[in-house]
Structure 1
Amino acid sequence: MASRSLTTTLAAAFAGTTLAVFALVGSVLYFALDREVKQQDDLDIVLIARHTRRLAQELATLDDLRNHADRLTSQVLGNTALSMQIRDAGQQVLVEHNAESIADPASPSPALSRRVGATQRITQSDIAEWHTSRDVPVRGLAADAALRDGTPVTMIIARNMTDRLRLLDYYRDRLYWAGLAGVLLAFLMSWMLVRESLRPLREIARTAGTVTVDRLGTPIEVENVPNELAALIASLNLMFGRLHDGFQRLSQYTADLAHDMRTPLGNLRGATEVVLARPRSADEYQAALASNLEECDRISRMIESVLFLARAEHPQFVARLGDLDAEKELAHIADYFEGLADDAGVHLHTTGHAQLRADAELFRRAVGNLLANALRYTPRGGDITLSAGESPDAVRVIVANQGAPIAPELLERIFDRFYRVDPSRKRETNTSGSTGLGLAIVRTIMDLHGGRAHAESDEASTRFILTFPKAFHSKSP
């Protein structure tokens, strides 16, 4: 698709609007002038016809009419466009002035066909319009009058409209040229104004074009920006800020992933090199292979967690929701971890009941990750409690464990990928190969359910709280 200039498009739109306005205003003025001119001329014709009728009615005979012809024609003197004819009953011309503007008496005339009776009042509605045999435009009227002896005569008063039409044509041409000049001026001025108005937008485009991955944190700054573009700049800066944070997290995530995978790989390599340094017994080889298998399991769990997070963040990932009994689910999860809890010397408790809507597999994984995390940090002889509670708009599932409290500034960060709190809280005897992704997976699962995962910690216990909204509906698979 061919590109087009926004400046030219807007300027053309303004010019078109100006043309439409000029055409409308010019048409109104033109027709108003035409109507005003005709009304004024028609009024003059009516007044002349009325006065001429009164003069004729004062005359006794046709001879008197001929003898006083100058008195009658004086009504149209001084204006060469006005014409007069007075005819008898046989349509013979008795008096005339500028008769070339009136049709031949032998030919029918619109004015004669609608002439006003001798006793009727002459008005502007009696005016007729026609063209003479020479194609001269004429407006006029015909009216009957009776002399004192009762002899009927017909008066024709007409006006040659040629000068009026020339005036209207001249006025129309002036409107055309004024409209054309106005459109051109409007186009040029609007083009310059639009171009100047879009200058901040060009500055924004130029500045945005210099943004690279290394400069995502650099904000767009343009002076004298209109309010409409200020909102655009603010949105772009927010977008670049989010992209910058995303790239930073991705970079940190990649570095953390490489670091965490390097540890088990280093352990594998080191153990293998030690075993191969000299001949070993079968038991030693078996112990080395078992150690390597544990490291392989740790790498597998890490890869599985990374793949889950990647799939969960994909737009097409769907959580299959169903109605769950939280009490039964928590009891099932506790039974699954009972053996690990006994080995760690930790007591598991479940309490509360609630009905929630969630993906069963994801729910078990989230609570299982929290329980595994609690087992790692709960001292021997401590207690871990799994509880569920229900409110009008949400269901809360809590995993609480005894142990050293977490600093308030770290409570939100513990859900970040590969983040671990102070090493003093980690008991190696209870660890089962943490990948640093368990709590990150919990937060992702809660995001999929439209809920929230957060932690609270004090001297009494550390509590991980999962809040499931009751009104949430997942996408259909």
Structure 2
Amino acid sequence: MTSRRGPSLTFRLTLLFALTAALVLFLLGLLIGNSVEQHFEEQDMEVLTGKMELVRHILGQSPEVLSSTSLKLQLDNALTGHHGLVVSIHALDGKPIYANEKKALPAGLLKGPASGDSRPLKWTTSDGMPMRGIVSLIMAGGLGQPVTVGIATEMDIHEHFMSSFRQTLWSFIALATMAMGMLGWFVVRRGLSPLQAIKRQASEITANRLYTRLPADAIPLELADLAETLNDMLSRLEDSFLRLSDFSSDLAHELRTPVSNLLTQTQVTLSRARTADNYREILASNAEEFERLSRMIADMLFLAKADNQQIIPHQERIELADEVADLLEYYEILADEKAIALSLSGRGEVSGDRLMLRRAISNLLSNAIRHTPNGGTITTRIARGAEGNTTLTVENTGSTISAEHLPRLFDRFYRADSSRHRTTENSGLGLAITRSIVLAHDGNISVQSADGITCFTLWLPNGSKTN
């Protein structure tokens, strides 16, 4: 069953680009439309206020000059040639004084303002004609009373233009949005082409081509960090794969010898009848091989748990000097056989698992005894560090280990001395187990070898391990 995939990155970016463009164009359209409409309103207001001043001037004449007949005549002459302009004058009690057309102004306009200031008002007449008008309270000296003057003008030309303008504007915005979306798709496709190149190159990487790396210098700066991260991941995978391959080969090689020994010895035993003592000897020999296989399998299980962080040390206070002294006493017989001098100096407490730390130290001492020549020395030192840790040093005399071998001494099944590659007492896992135990205790381990002296140093924290 195929997993459901979400929209592609190209689609998302294109949609985002188109929506952003549509929003910007929409806001720009609103701004342009409002600006044009505001311009028409200013034009109308300029005409209306001009006519209002003209009416104010005529009404301000003296009574001798202004009579009822001459008022209508002067206003008619002043308004001649202004098509669509409506002027209406009323007394404060609502009695009409003058109107140049039969078109009635709305009652809300003719109620009169609280002061002499004009105020614009828009409405639509009964026959569908849009109008804009203002009203003003004027002290008519010629009439001897204040009057309400309303002036309005038709807006059909403006409204027709705005309707056509808005239709054209919104059509352009719709087409521009689609064009911007198509352009955005093209730009996104071109911009994401390096990702396609990375995809093609990554698809060519297989288990046999983990050495392949992505060309970080040939892609945009924004993707360079991604390429470098992928290259680092490939380096780690290549290293892990090589280590796994080496480990598998070493494991097969290590298991082949005892299995081959058991098989050969069993076949030889079954080739003819033997005495009971012979069978006992053969079974004892087989038991040794089985013990070796059992130890190797147990060690491999321990290392597998360590690799998956499944080793949780039991915490307790441990005096390292006491543990090392017990182990030196245990190895004293082996040391006496080779006339090796053992020594211990210093004291220090750590927090950790007693059995696990004894195993780690035992592996170091066993390794030192195995590689120290007859008459050599093994020196163990314990010291308190200045950074909240305790150091344990196991130093032995013997052959100097070459520098190229030192970094790999803690690898599984690795042996620097090829002459000791096949010994029943050494499986090549002791140092690897020691490192796993030390790391599980939040410590560290290192090795140095120079001038016939090899030194292993452990750093262990004094306090409790923080999970």
The TM-score, its normalising length taken from structure 2, stands at: 0.88
- Specify the SS of the correspondent of 1:473: coil
Cα contact 1:345–1:382 (8 A) shared by 2: yes
Residue of structure 1 in register with 2:413 after alignment? 418
Larger mean Cα displacement after TM superposition, 7-16 or 59-68: 59-68
Query: Given the alignment, which residue of 447, 450, 468 partners 2:460?
Result: 468
Separation in 1 of the partners of 2:339 and 2:22?
90
Larger mean Cα displacement after TM superposition, 214-223 or 301-310: 214-223
Cα contact 1:111–1:142 (8 A) shared by 2: no
Give the C-alpha shift of residue 282 in structure 1.
Answer: 5.2
Residue of structure 2 in register with 1:403 after alignment? 398
Cα contact 1:323–1:358 (8 A) shared by 2: yes
Give the C-alpha shift of residue 223 in structure 1.
Answer: 7.8
Residue of structure 2 in register with 1:112 after alignment? 110
Give the C-alpha shift of residue 437 in structure 1.
Answer: 0.9
Residue of structure 1 in register with 2:366 after alignment? 372
Supply the AA of the counterpart residue of 2:425: G
Q: What is the correspondence of 1:257-296 to structure 2 with a 5 Å cutoff?
A: 257-273=251-267, 275=269, 283-296=277-290
Separation in 2 of the partners of 1:326 and 1:81?
110
Query: Given the alignment, which residue of 13, 18, 29 partners 1:15?
Result: 18
Residues 153 and 465 of structure 1: is their aligned pair in 2 closer, same or farther, counting only changes over 3 Å?
closer
Residues 98 and 324 of structure 1: is their aligned pair in 2 closer, same or farther, counting only changes over 3 Å?
farther
Supply the AA of the counterpart residue of 2:111: S
Residue of structure 2 in register with 1:307 after alignment? 301
Does residue 137 of structure 1 match 2:140? no
Residues 355 and 471 of structure 1: is their aligned pair in 2 closer, same or farther, counting only changes over 3 Å?
closer
Residue of structure 1 in register with 2:220 after alignment? 226
Give the C-alpha shift of residue 422 in structure 1.
Answer: 2.5
Separation in 1 of the partners of 2:5 and 2:241?
35
Residues 90 and 407 of structure 1: is their aligned pair in 2 closer, same or farther, counting only changes over 3 Å?
closer
Separation in 2 of the partners of 1:275 and 1:432?
22
Q: What is the correspondence of 1:229-244 to structure 2 with a 5 Å cutoff?
A: 229-244=223-238
Does residue 352 of structure 1 match 2:346? yes
Supply the AA of the counterpart residue of 2:222: E
Does residue 327 of structure 1 match 2:321? yes
Separation in 1 of the partners of 2:273 and 2:176?
102
Query: Given the alignment, which residue of 430, 449, 453 partners 1:457?
Result: 449
Give the C-alpha shift of residue 297 in structure 1.
Answer: 1.7
The TM-score, its normalising length taken from structure 1, stands at: 0.87
Cα contact 1:443–1:453 (8 A) shared by 2: yes
Give the C-alpha shift of residue 463 in structure 1.
Answer: 0.8
Q: Deviations over 1:156-212 (max 9, x none)?
A: 211223333333333332331222122112211111111111111122222222222
Larger mean Cα displacement after TM superposition, 169-178 or 189-198: 169-178
Does residue 192 of structure 1 match 2:189? no
Unaligned runs of 5+ in 2: none
Cα contact 2:66–2:142 (8 A) shared by 1: no
Separation in 2 of the partners of 1:378 and 1:191?
73
Residue of structure 1 in register with 2:167 after alignment? 173
Residue of structure 1 in register with 2:63 after alignment? 60
Moved over 6 A (4+): none
Separation in 1 of the partners of 2:215 and 2:297?
43
Give the C-alpha shift of residue 71 in structure 1.
Answer: 3.4
Larger mean Cα displacement after TM superposition, 406-415 or 19-28: 19-28
Q: Deviations over 1:84-127 (max 9, x none)?
A: 13346775655433442x33xxxx611221247xxx6x434x33
Give the C-alpha shift of residue 350 in structure 1.
Answer: 2.1
- Specify the SS of the correspondent of 1:143: strand
Does residue 47 of structure 1 match 2:42? no
Supply the AA of the counterpart residue of 1:304: A
Q: Deviations over 1:205-232 (max 9, x none)?
A: 2222222211222223488411222222
Supply the AA of the counterpart residue of 2:224: A
Cα contact 2:320–2:382 (8 A) shared by 1: yes
Give the C-alpha shift of residue 289 in structure 1.
Answer: 3.3
Give the C-alpha shift of residue 440 in structure 1.
Answer: 1.3
Does residue 247 of structure 1 match 2:245? no
Cα contact 2:351–2:463 (8 A) shared by 1: no
- Specify the SS of the correspondent of 1:320: coil
Unaligned runs of 5+ in 1: none
- Specify the SS of the correspondent of 1:288: helix
Give the C-alpha shift of residue 45 in structure 1.
Answer: 1.7
- Specify the SS of the correspondent of 1:363: helix
Residues 427 and 77 of structure 1: is their aligned pair in 2 closer, same or farther, counting only changes over 3 Å?
closer
Separation in 1 of the partners of 2:66 and 2:57?
17
Residues 252 and 24 of structure 1: is their aligned pair in 2 closer, same or farther, counting only changes over 3 Å?
same
The number of residues matched between the two structures is 462
Separation in 1 of the partners of 2:168 and 2:399?
94
Q: Deviations over 1:405-424 (max 9, x none)?
A: 11122111111111111346
